[in-house]
Amino acid sequence: MKIDYNNIGVGAIAIGAVLTISKELSVAKATLVMPFITHKESLYYLARATTKVPSIEKLIAEKTSYFSNFNARYYDALTLTFSSIQYLTEMGYARLDKGILYTTMPIEYDTKMGTRAKKIFQASNNVSTILKGCDRTLYLNLRIQI
């Protein structure tokens, strides 16, 4: 039996951690968080203290294999992403207004959250940097089929 570790708690922590750094994210950008976090190799790479990602283009050029199934991961994570956004807004951590998600209360790491959450928080700086680009450019570079 396979255990699914990608649940609403993980989604809320991941999106919330990135949102805490970014302060605001379009919904289009928020939907890109989980495909990075749910991919083990991407998560571990982005969580390393020595990893500094200047742009999505540079990351794709350096780690091409991480993106071979990004489109599938994107669509697999959509339901979880929207449930996580709903949870964040209902619990008062975020506010959604005209397609933009705003942080209203920061999510901070606590050791009780576990090692996976620690990796997510460590990766959130790089994910936030990646998501600074234009929505359209991000989707184009990540080859997400709309």
pLDDT digits (tens, 9 = 90+) for 23-44: 999 999 999 999 999 999 999 9
53 torsion bin: left (phi>0), alpha (psi -120 to 50), beta (else) = beta
Task: Annotate 83-112 with DSSP letters as a single string.
Answer: HHHHHHHHTTSEEEETTEEEESS-----GG
Where the chain has pLDDT below 50, the residues are 1-3
Cross-sheet strand order for the sheet of 100-103: 24-26, 100-103, 94-97
Query: Among 8, 24, 3, 5, which residue's Cα sits nearest to residue 81?
Result: 8
d(CA 37, CA 35): 6
Q: What are phi and psi of 3, to 5 degrees?
A: -95, 130
* CA nearest neighbour of 46 among 143, 120, 139: 120
Query: Could you tell me the maximum CA-CA distance found in the chain, to the nearest angstrom?
Result: 41
